Amino acid sequence: MTQAAPPISADSLDEERFAALKEEIAAYVANEGEEWTRRIEAERMVPPELRTELRDRGYLSLAGPSEYGGQGIPFSRYLELLELFSMSHASLRMIVHVANGVWRSVDQFATEEQRRDYVMPAVTGELTIAFTLTEPTAGTGADLRCEVVREGDTYYLSGEKHLITFGVSCDRWLAFARLAGTKGADGTVALLIDRETPGVEVEDMGESLGVRGTDHARLVFDRAPVPVSDLLGEEGNGLAVAFGGFLTPSRIAVAMTCVGLARRAQELAVGHAQDRVTFGKPLSARQAIAFALAENAADIEAARQLTLHAARAWEQGSGEAPTLSSMAKLTAVDMLTRVTDKALQAHGGIGFWSSSPIERVYRDARAQRFEEGTNEIQKTIIARDLFTGGVR
Ligand SMILES: Cc1cc2nc3c(=O)[nH]c(=O)nc-3n(C[C@H](O)[C@H](O)[C@H](O)COP(=O)(O)OP(=O)(O)OC[C@H]3O[C@@H](n4cnc5c(N)ncnc54)[C@H](O)[C@@H]3O)c2cc1C
């Protein structure tokens, strides 16, 4: 195993180039992004050309280190770009977010060969890896039930997974299981499984409330053979791969996706409040509506700043970063719930119809409460640190 890439220094950024990129992405989201949104909602699927377009534009390799073929944008600055992508359709945001983050979980335990074969193609957007943890019959952690039995140079994997984003369309599943007969975190393994492996039943879970068009898989493994060379790290490292160096930045990134989506909701509400006239005045002149949107503005900014604070703490290697990441995710998700609710309310009844863009934003927002751990799990983490002196 060789050293994983360290966080990229914020000093290394070319500010002029970055400002131009930010402008380019804002324009892309407002133009092409809106076109893709219409198409995804109408066709109820994500056309494969969207991923190709995002890859060709370099949007899938923004946060990857330059020595891996990425653009080497420091994490806290990449978040400024992710905020913009998150103003678009949740499926577009999901492609960008996963591609720019999932390589980290593989990288930290990869051998030189695994880095060449999986991490680098993931950074350049050529390889899609689906993070495959959740099971229908277990909690998302140390009680996972998928099991492997080793016979020579092969693990035979049995068990079930579900809710796996890109689990149908990916190239590899980064799946977490345990050695048969083990308990807790001990004996867990992380495997990078080829999508074409025999003995795997793949079912598309169909339409969801939000993030429409993105495929989510239910997977059934029945003694599916996985070469031992596709093990990441050592036996017993499975949950360290899932939750180690990857989870903190990923939670922070999800917090920023909440900020971006909330910003889009607010943009729509402000526009509507200026246009819509009731009883002779625009809604923006009514204190009830103006105050609701003022609260939204403060709410969004507070979540943004906490998220950036957590991101900088992670970049600096601070021990507070994991707790801050949970705080940022909790705060941003709750903020998004409040902001989208008020934004929809400001639209009146018409906002309830799919002809209003706010309807899709409201639905997409609900998914954020499950990604990278629910509020209950974030609170569990913060409370644990609170009572062990880790939180001031
Ligand atoms: C759109 C979407 C995409 C997803 N993509 C992926 C993916 O790519 N890969 C993947 O592995 N998973 C994915 N998931 C699954 C997601 O990570 C889980 O839904 C989430 O972690 C909650 O786990 P669960 O569904 O098993 O809920 P459960 O564990 O059944 O929990 C149900 C409720 O009880 C609460 N709860 C559970 N245990 C405790 C506890 N100990 N203390 C307090 N409260 C508790 C939970 O917070 C939740 O509110 C996705 C989910 C969604 C909605």
Identify residue 331 by its one-letter amino acid code. T
In the DSSP assignment, the letter for residue 171 is S
CB distance 377 to ligand 1 below 6 Å: yes
Angle in degrees, 0-180, between the axes of helices 32-43 and 15-30, rounded to the nearest 10: 40
CA angle 250, 255, 261 (to 5 degrees): 125
H-type alpha helices, 212-320: 238-243, 247-275, 287-315
- Measured in Å, residue 262 CA sits from the centre of ligand 1 at 22
Residue identifier of the C-alpha nearest atom 50 of ligand 1: 163
Spacing, Cα 370 to ligand 1 middle (Å): 6
* Backbone torsions φ then ψ of 101, nearest 5 degrees: -125, -35
Q: Which amino acid is at 219?
A: L
Distance between the two ends of the chain, CA-based, in angstroms?
37
126 in catalytic set: no
Q: In this structure, which amino acid lies at residue 79?
A: L
Question: Is 250's C-beta closer than 6 angstroms to any atom of ligand 1?
Answer: no
pLDDT, the chain, mean: 95
pLDDT at 144: 94
Query: Which of 239, 246, 376, 384 most suits a substitution to test ligand 1, by most atoms within 8 Å of the C-beta?
Result: 376
Give yes or no for residue 345 CB within 6 A of ligand 1. no
Query: Could you give the CA distance from residue 321 to residue 391 in angstroms, rounded to a whole number?
Result: 11
For residues 154 and 3, give the distance between their C-alpha atoms in angstroms, rounded to a whole number.
Answer: 26
For residue 389, is pLDDT > 90? no
Measured from the CA of 135, which atom of ligand 1 is nearest?
Answer: 26
| pLDDT mean over 350-370 | 97
C-alpha closest to that of 177 among 198, 155, 195: 155
Q: Is pLDDT at 4 greater than 70 in this prediction? A: no
Å from CA of 93 to ligand 1 middle: 20
Nearest CA to ligand 1 atom 34: 376
Query: pTM here?
Result: 0.95
SS3 at position 321: helix
Is ligand 1 within 6 A of the CB of residue 376?
yes
CA of 132 to the centre of ligand 1 (A): 12
The per-residue pLDDT for 10 is 61
Q: Which atom of ligand 1 is least distant from the CA of 138?
A: 26
Beta bridge pairs of residue 202: 219
Phi-psi region of 279 (alpha: psi -120 to 50; beta: other; left: phi over 0): left
- Please name the residue whose Cα sits nearest to atom 19 of ligand 1: 370
Looking at residues 45-66, what average pLDDT do you find? 96
Average pLDDT of the segment spanning 238-252? 90
Instruction: Give the span between the Cα atoms of 116 and 113, in whole angstroms.
Output: 5
The C-alpha atoms of residue 69 and residue 77 are separated, in whole angstroms, by 18
Q: What is the pLDDT of residue 245?
A: 77
Q: Given a cut of 90, is residue 304 above it in pLDDT? A: yes
Q: Does the beta carbon of 165 sit less than 6 angstroms from any atom of ligand 1?
A: yes
CA of 134 to the centre of ligand 1 (A): 7
**Does 219 sit in the ligand 1 pocket, CB within 6 Å?**
no
Ligand 1 centroid to residue 379 C-alpha, Å? 14
Q: What pLDDT is stored for residue 171 in this prediction?
A: 98
| pLDDT band with cut points at 50, 70 and 90 for residue 163 | very high
CA distance 252 to 297: 20
**What does the pLDDT read at residue 9?**
60
Among 9-13, 20-24, 26-30, 151-155, the least confident range: 9-13
Spatial CA neighbour of 59 closest among 125, 157, 154: 125
Any atom of ligand 1 within 6 Å of the Cβ of 154:
no
